[in-house]
């Protein structure tokens, strides 16, 4: 890899289905050609969606730190508390206690009333009630679908839009065979003097507990909000939120949805801050990729394995899987995308980015040649490549039941995370076209997403939305110009929190943080909250500087979060609530 590439590496509703029809091979390719043309002609509103972003990317302006005025004394008192060992010990204990209650969820769990595994959340609710008595005395709590938690801290001015702070109670399961690989047991909540260890300590009980501590402490200080604060805690985010956030979203639409866009902003789990090119960058997520699980199924008549056909269902499925992996989605870097804005901001504010590389980034604004060169450099980093492109991962495969019986069916599941400049429909059309030649080669009857495209022999190939929960790329939250007031407030809060936690002078630029738009490769519970606010931010102010060895612990062994990060998250949520309470611009 060239030095230039090394320097620039960055870690950074489906269309209506047509009716059933039967095609011969010639008609199939005509259909695919027309589909491709249609996709070019159908307006996806992408230009409008990203219009505000393009201006931002050209200069990446920054706002000043935002410190509450009316709540200055309250914030000062809480800041003094955060500096004490007594409060630190209490905060660590709060999170450790939450980690010690296993709240694992699994894929494919049935409805709450049909599976006793959901009952793990009852003791967690009891724990929250005991740990945060003021929250449970002063806030109204509604339990949605039994285990979803919806708190309302009523403000005195009903004309102000409420804010929504979200988190999730559940954690990914711990594989039993990995338990001996943990430095400390996965549900111990062990504190070693620096880190709190255990499943959920980072994802996402630190966010949930950080919010609860902030509000409990504000209540202890006698603070009464002017603007209503709503808390929504789902319980199956790690299994796509079908039982938790989905029900919470519906409940909030019923309660607050008289007007469009009922919340001033929403903050859920997401980005943090880290050092990049000699500058500390915070990256609140303002977009999310789309999602589609494709179920591939091959069938053929069974029989005795002593008289096999040339290709069994498993053999044909294997060839189809190879076709996928040999033909990944084309990677394009779009100027109308959040990852491109992130690159522009790194160039604008990265103190140690080499001048030649900065020049390439800036030249890419107008030169397609430079843009393609920049893309080729950036995609050397698989993390960034996954941000800008539609990805595909073959995650599940199954076929056969006995060694002497021909498998009558074999299937695989391909998970797609859809680029923000694409769509579910475009992804379906791509996959359909990809496998057309193989379907014809094996004389398979070919049905893709409800359309029968080929009539072959007795063998079949079927593509379908595996779980019926495909997701379009999320609307992008405004980050510049009119309508971006919430992003500016969030940015100012991030800057104030970062400076206060380190004792930095707000008047000096030394050591200050730069706020830039970001996005993750995965999805959050906010997929169910799109119609609740135009301003959705995936951010919980987690410090990842120098903690790279901890990051792999998310969803795997040795998950941990530092006590100092927890304290800074508490400061962030406290400052955010106070800033939002006195703002009249959101």
235: CATH: 3.40.630.10
Q: Which residue has the tokens 């029989």?
A: 303
Which string of DSSP letters, residue by residue, matches 538-550? EEEEEE-TT-TTT
User: Is 216 a residue of the active site?
Assistant: no
The DSSP bridge pattern shows strands 409-418 and 290-299 to be: antiparallel
Of the residues 53, 216, 236, 237, only one is catalytic, namely 237
Position 553 scores a pLDDT of 66
Asked if the bond preceding 204 is cis, omega within 30° of 0, the reply is yes
What is the DSSP secondary structure assignment for residue 65, as one 8-state letter? P
Angle formed at CA 305 by CA 302 and CA 308, multiple of 5 degrees: 80
390-414 burial: b if 16+ Cβ within 10 Å, else e: bbbebeeeebeeeeeebbbbbbbbb
User: Minimal CA–CA distance to 453: which of 163, 12, 24?
Assistant: 24
CA torsion through residues 84, 88, 93, 94, sign: positive
Q: What is the pLDDT, as a whole number, of residue 547?
A: 54
Cβ neighbours of residue 538 under 8 Å, at least 6 residues apart?
267, 268, 269, 270, 271, 284, 285, 286, 288, 519, 520, 524, 526
pLDDT attached to residue 1: 52
Please calculate the CA angle 502-507-510 and round it to the nearest 5 degrees: 55
Distance (Å, whole) CA 244 – CA 235: 5
Task: Give the contacts of 468 (CB within 8 A, at least 6 positions apart).
Answer: none
168 has binding-site annotation: yes
477 phi/psi in degrees, rounded to 5: -70, 140
Residue 118's domain comprises 75-268+540-582
Q: For position 507, what pLDDT does the model report?
A: 87
309 occurs within a structural domain: no
What does the alpha-carbon distance between residue 538 and residue 166 come to, in Å, rounded to a whole number?
A: 9
The two counts, helices (H) then strands (E), for the chain are 17, 18
Token pair for 291: 């999602």
What is the spatial distance between Cα 397 and Cα 408, in angstroms, rounded to a whole number? 14
CA dihedral (566, 570, 571, 575) positive or negative: positive
CA distance 147 to 201: 20
- Largest Cα–Cα distance of the chain, in whole Å? 84
Residue 453 lies in a domain: no
What averages of pLDDT result for each successive group of 10 residues across the chain (586 residues)? 44 34 46 42 35 49 96 98 98 98 95 97 98 98 98 98 98 95 96 96 97 98 98 97 97 91 97 94 98 97 95 98 97 96 96 93 96 96 95 97 97 98 98 97 97 93 95 96 97 98 92 95 95 97 71 79 96 98 97
Note whether residue 324 is domain-resident: no
Where in 455-495 does DSSP place strands (E)? Answer: 460-465
The torsion defined by the Cα of 210, 214, 215 and 217, in degrees rounded to 10, comes to 130
CA distances, 351 to each of 64, 135, 280 (Å): 19, 43, 10
Whether 450 maps to a domain, the answer reads: no
Counting beta carbons within 10 angstroms of the beta carbon of residue 114, is it exposed (0 to 12), middle (13 to 18) or buried (19 or more)? Answer: exposed
Strand, helix or coil at 177? helix
Decide if 119 is catalytic.
no
Domain count, the chain: 1
- Catalytic member of 53, 170, 204, 472: 170
Model pTM above 0.75: yes
Kindly tell me the burial class for residue 69, based on how many C-beta atoms sit within 10 Å of its own C-beta (0-12, 13-18, 19 or more).
exposed
Rg value, the chain, Cα: 26
Containing H/E element for 74?
Answer: helix 72-82
3-state helix, strand, coil in the chain (%, to 5): 40, 20, 40
Is residue 431 annotated as involved in ligand binding? no
Residue 52, annotated as binding a ligand: no
The single-letter DSSP state of residue 19 is P
């Amino acid at each position: 890899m060239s030095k230039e590439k090394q320097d620039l590496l960055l870690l950074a509703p489906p269309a209506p289905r047509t009716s059933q029809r039967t095609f011969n091979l010639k008609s199939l390719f005509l259909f695919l050609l027309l589909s491709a043309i249609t996709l070019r002609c159908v307006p996806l509103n992408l230009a409008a969606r990203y219009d505000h972003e393009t201006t931002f990317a050209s200069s990446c302006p920054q706002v000043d730190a935002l410190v509450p005025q009316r709540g200055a004394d309250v914030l000062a008192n809480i800041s003094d508390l955060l500096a004490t060992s007594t409060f630190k010990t209490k905060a660590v204990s709060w999170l450790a206690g939450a980690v010690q209650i296993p709240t694992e969820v699994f894929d494919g769990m049935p409805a709450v009333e049909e599976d006793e595994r959901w009952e793990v959340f009852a003791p967690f609710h009891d724990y929250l009630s005991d740990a945060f008595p003021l929250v449970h005395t002063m806030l109204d709590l509604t339990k949605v679908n039994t285990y979803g938690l919806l708190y309302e801290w009523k403000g005195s001015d009903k004309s102000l839009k409420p804010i929504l702070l979200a988190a999730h109670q559940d954690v990914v399961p711990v594989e039993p065979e990995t338990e001996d690989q943990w430095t400390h047991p996965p549900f111990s909540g062990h504190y070693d003097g620096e880190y709190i260890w255990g499943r959920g300590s980072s994802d996402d009980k630190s966010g949930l507990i950080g919010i609860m501590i902030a509000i409990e402490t504000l209540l202890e200080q006698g603070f009464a909000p002017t603007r209503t604060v709503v808390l929504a805690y789902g319980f199956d985010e790690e299994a796509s939120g079908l039982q938790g956030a989905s029900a919470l979203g519906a409940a909030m639409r019923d309660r607050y949805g008289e007007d469009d866009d009922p919340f001033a902003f929403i903050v859920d789990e997401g980005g943090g801050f880290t050092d990049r090119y000699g500058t500390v960058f915070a990256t609140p997520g303002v977009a999310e990729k789309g999602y589609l699980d494709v179920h591939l199924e091959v069938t053929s008549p069974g029989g005795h394995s002593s008289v096999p056909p040339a290709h069994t269902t498993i053999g044909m499925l294997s060839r189809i899987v190879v076709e996928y992996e040999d033909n990944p989605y084309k990677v394009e870097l779009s100027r109308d995308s959040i990852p491109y804005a992130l690159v522009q901001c790194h160039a604008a504010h990265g103190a140690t980015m080499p001048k030649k590389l900065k020049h390439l980034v800036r030249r890419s604004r107008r030169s397609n040649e430079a843009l393609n060169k920049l893309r080729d450099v950036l995609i050397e980093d698989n993390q960034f490549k996954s941000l800008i492109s539609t990805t595909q991962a073959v995650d599940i495969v199954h076929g056969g039941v006995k060694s002497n019986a021909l498998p009558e069916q074999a299937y695989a599941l391909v998970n797609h995370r859809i680029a923000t400049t694409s769509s579910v429909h475009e992804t379906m059309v791509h996959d359909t076209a990809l496998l057309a030649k193989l379907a014809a080669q094996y004389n398979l009857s070919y049905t893709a997403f409800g359309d029968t495209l080929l009539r072959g022999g007795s063998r079949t190939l079927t593509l379908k939305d595996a779980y019926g929960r495909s997701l379009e790329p999320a609307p992008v939250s405004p980050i510049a110009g009119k309508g971006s007031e919430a992003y500016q407030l969030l940015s100012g809060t991030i800057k104030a929190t970062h400076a206060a936690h380190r004792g930095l002078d707000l008047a000096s630029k030394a050591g200050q943080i730069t706020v830039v738009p970001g996005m993750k490769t995965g999805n959050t519970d906010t997929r169910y909250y799109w119609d609740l606010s135009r301003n959705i931010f995936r951010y919980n102010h987690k410090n990842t500087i120098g903690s790279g060895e901890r990051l792999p612990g998310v969803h795997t062994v040795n998950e941990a979060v530092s006590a100092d990060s927890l304290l800074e998250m508490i400061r962030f949520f406290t400052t955010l609530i106070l800033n939002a309470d006195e703002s009249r611009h959101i």
